[in-house]
Structure 1
Amino acid sequence: MKATKRIALVAHDERKQDLLMWVRQNADTLAKHELFATGTTGKLLADQCGLAITRMKSGPLGGDQMLGAMIAKGELDLLIFFWDPMSAQPHDVDVKALLRMSVLYNIPTACNRATADFFITSPWFNTDYEQVVKDFSGYIRRPLE
């Protein structure tokens, strides 16, 4: 993982203001990195914080899956996803798939402000980091008998 990170920023509707406050507080540091976001969140952050953000589709329209695919292809380094544990999401399976990809490919994932604060203050946030990713090339799933 290079010093300049490729960071995904995602938030459910009830958490968008929390993420916006966090991004504002850390805009100078985040501006040094390549930022990606799902549609509505990306527009909010770009408009309110003046950051260059590559926007995917909205989460329910496939944005979560687009970010998951980027993780699988080695195109994202960090996931900051302020998700709402108190509200049902119509695209819950996509959310779970995105979080699964982040764990599978050993992508640091912050699901709340405290963890995001730990990330951004880590000495590895702005330096190279040797990421260990398990080799799944030999993984064969056997059918149930």
Structure 2
Amino acid sequence: MEIALIAHDKKKDDMLRFVTAYKRIFSKHQLYATGTTGKRIMEETKLSVHRFQSGPYGGDQEIGALIAKNKLDMVIFFRDPLTAQPHEPDVSALMRLCDVYSVPLATNMGTAEVLIRGLDKGDLEWRSITRGETKNE
């Protein structure tokens, strides 16, 4: 599965704890992340992560482009709802694309845990079927 990992500044430590806790599961999948989040995950877990630009510099949009091409199966985006984000329209667009393309999206650790445990049990295999049916290439 193809998994995107994004975390606002005040949520990066939470993301690192989460990925570390589920490293065994994440190691079986292709990971993508925005700039600093991806760098910190790679440094602290030694997992391979394809990094995009930082969110405010277009990373959210790069991940959104993969969603629009139906090339991502899950997005874990630890948002900081209490801090204004200058790129909030990009964040909203990314979440909208997840809804449009039925890509599972977790915006907090509780939902992310349900998704990652479901992934480990095989509950998200329908994404492989969906990806194969709607691939436009």
TM more than 0.5: yes
Matched to 1:45, the amino acid is: I
TM superposition score normalised by structure 1: 0.84
Structure 2 residue aligned with 1:16, among 5, 12, 18? 12
Deviation, structure 1 residue 130: 2.1
Secondary structure in structure 2 of the residue aligned to 1:107: coil
Counterpart amino acid of 1:46?
A: M
1:29 aligns with 25
CA distance in 2, matches of 1:116, 1:52: 20
Deviations 1:59-83 (A, max 9, x none): 0000000000000001100000000
Cα separation, 2, equivalents of 1:19 and 1:118: 15
Task: Judging by fraction of residues, say which structure has more helix.
Answer: 2
TM-score relative to the length of structure 2: 0.89
Bigger RCO of structures 1 and 2 (CA < 8 A, at least 6 apart): 1
The aligned amino acid for 2:16 is L
Distance 1:126 1:60 in 2: 34
- Select the structure of larger CA radius of gyration: 1
In the other structure, the counterpart of 1:87 is: 83
Q: RMSD between aligned alpha carbons?
A: 1.6
Q: How far is 1:101 from its partner?
A: 0.5
Give, as a single letter, the amino acid of the residue that structure 2 aligns with 1:85: P
Instruction: Point out where structure 1 has 5 or more consecutive residues left out of the alignment.
Output: 136-145
Unpaired stretches in structure 2, ≥5 consecutive residues: none
Identity among equivalent pairs (%): 44
